Chains A and B, each alone.
Chain A
Amino acid sequence: MPKLIQRSIDLYNWFEQRLGLGGPVIEAAEHEVPASTSSWWYVFGSAATVILVLQVMTGVLLALVYAPTASHAWSSLQFLDHNVRLGWFLRAIHGWGSDFMVAIVLIHLVQVFLFGAYKFPRELTWIIGVFLLLLTLGMAFTGQVLRFDQDAYWGLGIGASIVSRVPWIGGPLVSLMLGGPIIAGPTLSRFFALHVFVIPGILLALVGLHVWMVLRLGINEWPMPGRLVNKKTYVRDYHHLTEKTGIPFVPDAAWKDAIFAAAIMLAVIACALWFGPFGPSGQPDPTIIETAPKPDFAFLWIYAVLAYLPPALETPVLFIAPVIAIGAMLLLPLFSGEGEKHWSRRPVAVLMVSVIAVTLGIFTHLGTYTPWSPIMNAWSSDAIPVDYLTNRTPLERQGAIVFQNKQCRNCHSIGGSGGLRGPALDTLASRMTEDQIIRQVLQGGGNMPAYGNALNPSETTALVRFLTTLRSSEMPAIDASRRMVVSEEQRPSSSSQ
């Protein structure tokens, strides 16, 4: 036994003599960090790295089977899901790993922002981190494209349409993005190259730099209110702190990272087992137009923003807002490299994080149920509640049929089902008079198309009769001015002019 140990040591030394890596690695692992940083708040960066490794590994495994051609990608995913042993599980891990990675990178960003970690001397670490976030999102988008299904196909269409709005060079940029005149074979090939070679290559290189700088500059100490960062004294103070309270990163601080990483991995595995892989949804056949394309979770908020922007503002916002947002993040440490680090003394920072988080959350939530989209089959699938038809005249019931047949239901709900694009009509007649309803139906307006060309007079009559019954138990809407006019007309004798 001692002989075996000696053998192992000899073997290690043989390699170490030639590689010379063991020493520096052990030294880096055991370097002293301020004791305050051994915290559960400091585990997200390492967790993101661990998931990145998981993504690389599962990605390589998926690439063993995946066929990156437009004609076969979708069927190769079906093959992975159903014919390759545990293929579905690897797809699920890779998919859930991607969602977790985006989430953890975002949490990591918020944490280092609130802890003032981007201040001197770690400005560049933050700037590289911003690029890491963008690359992570790039991986998420290109990964969704590789799941070459309906969502991916039309997602590319959305991407191309956005790119086409770039002034002057929009057209060539679209061709560059698609690799040809339409979304087809070359498009998938180039997104495959991006997802598998280009972005991961840059991502891994920058992660290396990012970690290297954390080691070189030391982990950001736990901020204390009133302890200001000063470029002249910071490095000296940090060294004092490390000397005074330093503990070796491995094992004294790293155990928390390790436990959190394990928990995250278990969470990914659990989601993969429980929910399974994402899609693929319908095949990428553009002639199948019965589809409601939707991006993956990380991009739902953009999808929602694009629905709510006024048409005239859309193109400017699309290209100016990202430049401002990314520019601000990149320049942040250069303009705010000194001063207070603690969140309790940085109310604007806390406010910004809160507002942005709530905004993204709301838009993402809206993106999950897309209230702006017509429900394409509501007119033929959702029946009118019986209550709305009892004790109604034949004309009113005829109007209910018109209501269904003219797809009003796709945008307007009644009885709790139907589209959410327009207002619910359950109490319409309590808000609008008959005249107003007629006008609205025939001329549209307020984001409603005009139906004057789609309805003949008898249909309009019936429809409006039906709509005027929709007031639940509320009073019907009254046109006050007409009442005045009518009462004036009825008292011509009393007018003493």
Chain B
Amino acid sequence: MSDPRPSTNHEAPFGEQHIPPGAPMTEPANPQSHKSEGHSRRVFLFKLSLFLNGIVGAVLAVPVLGYLLGPALKKTSSENSWISLGPLSGFPEGETRLVNYRNPVTTEWDGQTGDVPCWVRRVSGETFQVFAINCAHLGCPVRWFSQSHLFLCPCHGGAYYADGSRASGPPERGLFEYDHKIDSGNLMIHAGRMPTLANSAKAEPPPLVQIDAQIDVQIDAQIDSIGSNTTLAATPKPAPRCSSCPS
């Protein structure tokens, strides 16, 4: 760009009609010819060269865009596949355990990032729930607390009940669940893509109302039992209004 001289060399392979994509601006000035003579021809050729480069650009843009958008155009179905989480004996009934699996789609240089954890809850017998590790709010890793039967998220404090339904905090819905099946004594899940609101907002309506009838019944029972068995305040404890009042 800084030296004006050798530009003619670049044009050589293209003959006199210079259409090199890199140097359309340099006119092969011929001092002998009249300035205006052939001007319209050169303007036409310049426009032609622009048009040609436009076509080349369009042709080039197709593969470039295809390459760039490649990951976005893949179907989820091509990335999700059935993965074994191990034999059923590894999951005691009534417990929720952290299980890691290797993502079905990985590269050699993924390292540890190709290992994905998930929470497996064996409700009873062959009834399972498999939850994604990612909080339904913003994808942080939720932790299971077996003592309080809650999943808690460290980022913004999302909380979920044992069955994955929303308990409190910013999540709009319950935990993401993987489809699962039992195949010859192994628990299999259908996974491969990071669950987000865009691809996993499946099935059940968001359980924003968290108290189901079952809990209510239990709570009523508890309140009753507290009332009858102990001296808690469910039954009025007549206290004298003042030191001299009759109780």
A residues with a Cβ closer than 8 A to B are: 18-19, 69-72, 153-154, 157-158, 160-162, 164-166, 170-176, 178-187, 283-287, 289-293, 303, 306-307, 309, 311-312, 314, 372-374, 376, 379, 405-408, 410-411, 421, 433-435, 438, 442-444, 447-455, 457, 460-461, 464-465, 482-483, 485-487, 489-490
B72 touches A154 (CB 8 A): no
The answer to whether residues A407 and B72 also contact, given A162-B138, A450-B211, A486-B238 and a CB cut-off of 8 A, is no
Binds A, one of B6-14, B28-36, B177-185, B222-230: B222-230
Q: Which residue of B76, B145, B199, B226 contacts A461 across the interface (Cβ within 8 Å)?
A: B226
Q: Which residue of B106, B154, B170, B234 contacts A293 across the interface (Cβ within 8 Å)?
A: B154
A-B contact pairs, 10 of them (CB 8 A): A71-B109, A161-B137, A161-B197, A178-B194, A180-B107, A286-B141, A289-B133, A293-B155, A311-B172, A407-B145
Which of B133, B156, B193 gathers the greatest number of chain A CB atoms within 10 Å? B156
User: Which A residues touch B167, using CB under 8 A?
Assistant: 444, 449-450
What's the Cα separation between A183 and B193 when bound, in Å?
9
Chain A, residue nearest B247 (CB)? A490
User: Which A residues touch B172, using CB under 8 A?
Assistant: 311-312, 314
Q: Which residue of B141, B143, B149, B233 contacts A154 across the interface (Cβ within 8 Å)?
A: B141
Q: How far is the CB of B235 from chain A (nearest CB, A)?
A: 11
B134 touches A184 (CB 8 A): no
The 9 A-B residue pairs with the shortest CB-CB distance in the complex, in nearest-first order: A71-B111, A164-B196, A157-B139, A449-B167, A170-B198, A172-B72, A164-B198, A181-B193, A171-B198
Q: Which residue of B3, B76, B100, B143 contacts A287 across the interface (Cβ within 8 Å)?
A: B100
Q: How far is the CB of A214 from chain B (nearest CB, A)?
A: 25
User: Which B residues touch A379, using CB under 8 A?
Assistant: 147
A71 touches B110 (CB 8 A): yes
Which size bracket describes the interface of B in this complex? 35 or more
B215 touches A450 (CB 8 A): yes
Q: Which residue of A181, A405, A449, A490 contacts B161 across the interface (Cβ within 8 Å)?
A: A449
Add 15 more A-B contacts to A69-B111, A172-B73 (CB < 8 A). A69-B109, A157-B140, A160-B139, A170-B196, A182-B103, A185-B106, A185-B107, A438-B234, A444-B168, A449-B150, A449-B167, A451-B148, A454-B149, A457-B229, A465-B232
A289 touches B161 (CB 8 A): no
Chain B, residue nearest A170 (CB)? B198
B residues with a Cβ closer than 8 A to A are: 2-3, 69, 71-74, 76, 79, 98, 100, 103, 105-117, 133-134, 137-143, 145, 147-150, 152, 154-157, 159, 161-162, 167-172, 192-194, 196-199, 210-211, 215, 218-219, 221-223, 225-226, 229-230, 232-234, 236, 238, 241
B113 touches A285 (CB 8 A): yes
The answer to whether residues A182 and B210 also contact, given A314-B172, A452-B215, A457-B226 and a CB cut-off of 8 A, is no
The answer to whether residues A182 and B238 also contact, given A171-B199, A373-B157, A454-B149 and a CB cut-off of 8 A, is no
